[in-house]
């Protein structure tokens, strides 16, 4: 599991690494070593954090061994074009699960240096079925706004006071 998370996070953080020319191998080796150290430290923090989470977030004591993470998607939109559909949100949750389960269509294209550790992480994401108050939910909130969120002020989207939407309790939900 440790190697899998490291590989996934390393692959995400160095996504353009494969596009670099082969003459950059020495540079890439140094970069990979530095990234590996960072990812190991990050994994250790994730491990410690997950030990502190309530069972509702990670559901560690389930018979399958799969970690289920409830997700809430906050759609903050300024008009119909930005108000994405439930179907689009669900399809992206499916893609997330495919990638974390290594069921994605391009899994066979995993770079050689990661093939030994690429694996199913046993993590599954699902749209939350209850809100923080215990009420039924589809895991999607929608906030119409007249605010604009530009580079440098993205944090404003995370608060109702600045035209965005407040996150749900991060101890219990993954907010997107």
Q: Which pLDDT belongs to residue 96?
A: 93
- Per-residue pLDDT band for 152 (boundaries 50, 70, 90) equals confident
Per the rule left: phi > 0, alpha: psi between -120 and 50, beta: everything else, 134 is: left
Buried b (16+ CB within 10 A) or exposed e, 10-20: bbeeeeebeee
Per the CB < 8 A criterion, the answer to whether 172 and 54 are in contact is yes
Q: Would the pLDDT of 150 be above 60?
A: yes
Question: Considering the entire predicted model, what is its pTM?
Answer: 0.62
Q: How far is CA 131 from CA 35, 81, 142, in A?
A: 37, 26, 14
Q: Would the pLDDT of 160 be above 80?
A: yes
SS3 content of the chain, % helix, strand, coil (to 5): 45, 15, 40
Q: Which pLDDT belongs to residue 41?
A: 63
Q: Which of 131, 121, 120 is nearest to 175 (CA)?
A: 131
User: What tens digit of pLDDT does each residue of 40-92 get?
Assistant: 665 566 555 555 554 444 444 556 778 889 999 999 998 898 999 999 999 99
Q: Which pLDDT belongs to residue 31?
A: 55
Q: Enumerate domains of the chain plus CATH numbers.
A: 1-52 (no CATH), 54-175 (3.40.390.10)
């Amino acid at each position: 599991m440790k190697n899998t998370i490291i590989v996934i996070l390393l692959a995400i953080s160095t996504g353009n690494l494969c596009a670099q020319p082969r003459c950059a191998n020495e540079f890439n080796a140094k970069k990979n070593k530095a990234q590996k150290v960072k990812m190991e430290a990050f994994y250790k923090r994730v491990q410690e954090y997950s030990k502190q989470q309530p069972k509702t977030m990670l559901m560690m004591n389930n018979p399958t061994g799969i970690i289920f993470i409830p997700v809430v998607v906050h759609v903050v939109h300024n008009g119909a074009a930005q108000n994405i559909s439930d179907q689009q949100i669900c399809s992206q949750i499916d893609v997330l699960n495919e990638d974390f389960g290594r069921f994605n269509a391009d899994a066979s294209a995993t770079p050689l240096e990661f093939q030994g550790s690429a694996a199913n992480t046993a993590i599954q994401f699902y749209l939350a079925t209850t809100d923080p108050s215990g009420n039924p939910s589809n895991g999607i909130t929608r906030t119409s706004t007249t605010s604009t969120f530009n580079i440098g002020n993205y944090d404003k989207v995370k608060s109702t006071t600045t035209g965005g939407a407040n996150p749900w309790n991060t101890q219990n939900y993954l907010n997107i």
